[in-house]
Amino acid sequence: MLLVITYSQAARQSLRNVCRAHEDSVVRRFGRAALLESTGFGAFQALRLQAKHGLDVQVERVEPFVESDVPERVREAATAYENRDQSSVPYRQFASGTDYPSPESLRETDV
């Protein structure tokens, strides 16, 4: 999918107009951003906006998140932490002395 983010009032208005006119190509709309279908038409609209508003329009390619692509220890840590007994325990404390990765090690893990 294509993530289009706008950075000015004019660009935001143009994006709204595009989304309103081409609902079929819009996956999701957020205030000043939208996810467009990854099709020639979606890219056409994104490029049009960029041609019109330059740096006020940012276009990024967004991939679907596949959970199984994430290392198992990261997934396990997330599940275990959400199932913890004491909701007030910060993750750092929760993980210390266990096999769960530290926040630092999580930050350094590229997924």
Write out the residues near another protein by the rule CB under 8 A.
Answer: 6-9, 12, 32, 54-56, 58
Compute the least distance from the CB of residue 94 to another protein, in Å: 33
Query: What 3-state DSSP class applies to 24?
Result: helix
Neighbours of 26 (CB within 10 A): 19
Compute the least distance from the CB of residue 18 to another protein, in Å: 18
Compute the least distance from the CB of residue 14 to another protein, in Å: 14
Q: Which is nearer to another protein, 57 or 95 (CB)?
A: 57
Q: Which is nearer to another protein, 33 or 80 (CB)?
A: 33
Q: Which is nearer to another protein, 2 or 77 (CB)?
A: 2
Q: Which is nearer to another protein, 6 or 25 (CB)?
A: 6
3-state secondary structure 27-89: EEEECCEEEECCCHHHHHHHHHHHHHHHHHEEEEECCCCCHHHCCHHHHHHHHHHHCCCCCCC
* 24: its two tokens: 């079929």
Compute the least distance from the CB of residue 88 to another protein, in Å: 33
